[in-house]
Amino acid sequence: MTGFTVPLGFPYPQATDPLDGPAQLQALAEAIDNSMVSTLASLQGATAPPCAKVTGTSQNAVSGAGTLMNFNSVYFDNDGMADLVADPQKLTVQTAGVYAVYAFATFAPNATAYREVNIRRNGAVLSRWSSNAVNSTLVSLGVGVSGLVSMSVGDNFDMFTVQVSGVTLPTLDCQLTAFRVSS
């Protein structure tokens, strides 16, 4: 066989090659097999990127004041970012890089004003999303926000919520997720 695919170099017969079906199929199968063995060997050293997700349960949000959210459960954490005993409000970066981060909270039903979720990096607002309340006292409102930011070792993420319904309003749940997308 004189033809080869690009970019992997698998052999294939050309019109001018002598016909030898079984030998040509064997050569192709061996080339694919060798490529797979090489690929699998290179993947054995691969690791998952640093990532963590923490969740929290119901917390009271005072009207007109920001509420820093507390987390009580680690959904996953493969890089030691969550230490809910030392600080139940933060994910602390252990591996520098560019991180995608997502925060979400569900507010109890209330038809007045707006709800807001903020992601902070080292205490400064990184990303925020606000939404008007649902015009119902029966429907909860979920608000989520995301961001992409370069982080150094020791930098941290937290989230806080804001609502201005005129009454203390519970958030029914919350979550904060961060994962490194590049170095």
Is residue 30 domain-shared with residue 67, that is, in the same domain? no
Whether 71 and 25 share a structural domain: no
28 and 89 in a single domain? The answer is no
* Global pTM value: 0.75
Same domain? 24 vs 61: no
Q: What is the pLDDT of residues 89-133, one digit of tens each?
A: 999 999 999 999 999 999 888 888 889 999 999 999 999 988 887
Written as one string, the DSSP assignment of 116-157 is: EEEEEETTEEEEEEEEEPPS-SS--EEEEEEEEEEE-TT-EE
What is the per-residue pLDDT across 57-98, written as a single tens digit (0 to 9) for each? 999 999 998 899 999 999 999 999 999 999 999 999 999 999
Q: How many domains does the chain have?
A: 2
